[in-house]
Amino acid sequence: MQVLSPAKINPSLKILGRRDDGFHEIETLIAPITLCDEIEVHKSDRERIEFRCDDPSVPTGDDNLVVRATKALFEETKLKNGVSIELKKKIPHGAGLGGGSSDAASTLLALNQIFETKLTRDELAKLGSTIGSDIPLFIFESAAICKGRGDLVTPINLERPLSILLLKPDFRVSTEWAYSRWQDSREIPGVYYATQEFAGQTFVNDLERPVFQKFVFLARLKMWLLDQPEVVAALMSGSGSTVFAVLRPNVDIDLLAMRARDQLDPELWTYACETM
């Protein structure tokens, strides 16, 4: 079975405080986008998990979310069969786009179907939440409001698809690090952190404050985007390092991406997509 594993952006991410369990209480809107990894999942005669990935930087052992999710489902359902999983990466690492969590969720959905384990989405989401906070979101295959530590998911329908340009420099940001620095972080003078609005949607990210303090280029990238005539809103996604631009209708996205590389960073990774 071949499945697509979508990336996401966070149009809104608000941190409400630190929880007793060490996580942070958040309220976030998460929207899947049309950038996807590809996963091949097949039954195997061998009673083991075989995992391969075309990106050599992706770990293939127990620290990989796909492997951990597969083991968790096998333990939950007492399955003795083996499985072969091949991942083709399109979503960059450490980008705030949820690639690893989405891959794990898509794998759980595929295994549930292939092995006919008949777990409900709620049961799969609960299982996924023991592995990663973002996994439950992707189980529901929908835009959603997520609360708690991100594991309390309410699927919603977005009013309209948004045209998006993703921009990521050649460095990563650790999600754990970003949250750990949130409470003591400060705003950089001259950088716009306030809520933006477009088409009935608000755009704000409380993690920009700590991340921009260390990774000043991301603040510069956001401010540059807000100055471009094609852009109606710009925001860091999740904990970064991707910044996304919400675009006006019928703009030349390739021209904007080329201008960003010319004026900011020739190695900038860009990808044009839409919210789903």
**Of residues 8, 89, 168, 222, which has the active-site annotation?**
8
Residue reference for tokens 């920009």: 208
- Specify the pLDDT at position 230: 97
Domain at 2-156, CATH from 3.30.930.10, 3.30.230.10, 3.30.70.1400, 3.10.20.30: 3.30.230.10
Residue 242 CB partners (closer than 8 Å, separation 6+): 9, 92, 95, 96, 97, 166, 167, 168, 236
pLDDT of 127 reads 95
**Angle (deg, nearest 10), helices 253-263 and 216-226:** 140
pLDDT in tens, 97-147: 999 999 999 999 999 999 999 999 999 999 999 998 889 989 999 999 999
In the prediction, which pLDDT does 154 show? 94
pTM for the complete prediction? 0.93
Q: Would you tell me which CATH number, out of the four given (1.10.357.10, 3.40.50.620, 2.60.120.560, 3.30.70.890), belongs to the domain 163-274? A: 3.30.70.890
Give the pLDDT of residue 24. 87
Q: What is the pLDDT of residues 179-216, one digit of tens each?
A: 999 999 999 999 999 999 998 899 999 999 999 999 99
CA distances from 1 to 34, 100, 192 (A): 20, 19, 45
Tell me what pLDDT residue 257 has. Answer: 98
- Residue 141, classified by CB atoms within 10 Å of its CB into exposed (0-12), middle (13-18) or buried (19+), is middle
Calculate what percentage of the chain has a pLDDT beyond 90.
84
Other beta carbons less than 10 A from residue 183's beta carbon? 12
What's the rounded mean pLDDT across residues 44-67? 91
**For a pLDDT cut of 70, what percent of the chain falls above it?**
100
- Token pair belonging to 28: 């976030």
pLDDT of residue 189: 96
- pLDDT of residue 22 exceeding 80, the answer is no
Out of 37, 89, 103, 134, pick the active-site residue: 134
Residue 159: the pLDDT is: 83
Is residue 110 within 8 Å of 38, Cβ to Cβ? Answer: no
Give the Cα separation of 1 and 223 in Å (integer).
43
Confidence bin at 90 (pLDDT 50/70/90):
very high
pLDDT for 94: 83
Strands 269-274 and 201-205: unpaired
pLDDT average, residue stretch 153-159: 90
* DSSP structure string for 221-268: HHHHHHTSTTEEEEEE-TTSS-EEEEE-TT--HHHHHHHHHHHT-TT-
The pLDDT score that the predictor gives to residue 51 is 95
pLDDT of 20 > 80? The answer is no
Does 269 score more than 80 pLDDT?
yes
Q: How confident is the model at residue 57 (pLDDT cuts 50, 70, 90)?
A: confident
- Domain residues of the chain, as ranges? 2-156, 163-274
Model confidence at 150, in pLDDT bands (50, 70, 90)?
A: confident
**8 belongs to the catalytic site:** yes
Section 23-32 average pLDDT: 92
Q: Is 134 a catalytic residue?
A: yes
What average pLDDT does the segment 89-100 reach? 93
